[in-house]
Amino acid sequence: LLEEELCLSSKRISTPSWKVLIEAKEAKKQAEKQKNMKNETNTEKEQKQIRRERMQNFEDAFRKIAASTGIHDVEELVRIFIANEEQNFSLFTYANEQANDIERLEGKINDLRDEETRNANESGNDMSQYNIVMHDLEKKIESNEAQSTALEEKCDVDQATFNGLR
């Protein structure tokens, strides 16, 4: 080792300083490459560890599902899950259709209530007019009855006078 260092030292002394700088830069680059390779290796290890942990989580979740459902076949669970999703979607669609029907019927109910109010107002106006006409007719009848009574009394008086003249 001492001989190698002496040899390198003598080379450094005999080589120009710019060559020494270039060699130092290359050595630094090489050290950085090795460091990056180590970092990549660490990153790969971390990725593998993350994948292992995720796989473990999936396995734990499957065990819990299998324990609670009693189904231990993944394909069977997937088939049941898909069937349930289709049924849920069908029910969701049905519920939306029902909600739309309810909304449409509520609109019809409101339209009918508005029509009922309009008709009640119109009939009320008709009834008011009817009541006014009836009141006027009743007054005319009373007036005619009063005139008839007065004329009957006058006729009776005139009849008595006529009978008295005879």
**Average pLDDT of 119-125?**
71
Under 8 Å between Cβ of 85 and 93? no
Measured torsion, CA atoms of residues 133, 136, 140, 145, in degrees rounded to the nearest 10 = 100
* 106 has a pLDDT exceeding 90: yes
Residue 1 has pLDDT above 90, yes or no: no
Per-residue pLDDT tens digits for 42-93: 677 788 888 899 999 988 988 898 888 888 888 888 899 899 999 999 999 9
Residue 70 tokens, joined: 């009693």
Confidence bin at 166 (pLDDT 50/70/90): low
Across the chain, what does the average pLDDT equal?
A: 81
pLDDT above 90 as % of the chain: 33
Of the candidates 54, 52, 72, the residue with the CA atom closest to the CA atom of residue 64: 72
The pLDDT assigned to 42 comes to: 65
The confidence score (pLDDT) of residue 158 equals: 85
pLDDT range class, residue 15, cuts 50, 70, 90? very low
Contact call for residues 66 and 72 (beta carbons, < 8 A): yes
Q: What is the pLDDT of residue 162?
A: 81
Residue at token pair 């950085």: 32
Lowest mean pLDDT among 21-25, 77-81, 90-94, 96-100: 21-25
